[in-house]
Amino acid sequence: MPPLEHILVVNAVLFAIGVMGVLTRRNAVLILLSVELMLNAVSLNMVAFAVYGHVDFGNITGIVFAFFIIVIAAAEVALALGIVVRTFRNRATANVDEVNLLKW
């Protein structure tokens, strides 16, 4: 098995890449993809802790959490894409910096 630190470092890099995508992209769908990368990094972290702690602590809450995160992420993607499609119909753009109706 890879040591826990290696998994944590890989997940930290994946999370930072997701943050970079959220902060640099303009297209709403691509921002959503970057958020998914961050969610993946977090659930991978939870699974790693649960699997390595299973021997010592005997509970697998982290794995159940990863399962719930994946299900919630599916709901979130469906809702967000519905909003993006609706925004595109109203404003003819999917770029988040052009959707400035609430800005004065």
Residue 67 near other proteins by CB under 8 A: yes
Q: Which residue, 1 or 100, is less far from other proteins as judged by CB?
A: 1
Q: Specify the residue, 97 or 101, whose C-beta has the smaller distance to other proteins.
A: 97
Other residues' Cβ atoms within 10 Å of the Cβ of residue 39? 19
For 19-37, give one letter per residue: b (16+ CB within 10 A) or e.
eebbeebeebebbbebbeb
Site for other proteins in 5-64 (CB under 8 A): 5-10, 12-30, 32-34, 36-37, 40, 43-44, 47-48, 50-52, 54-56, 59-61, 63-64
101 lies in the binding site for other proteins (CB under 8 A): no
**Smallest gap from residue 62 Cβ to other proteins (A):** 10
Residue 27 DSSP label: B
CA-CA distance, 33 to 84, in Å (whole number)? 13
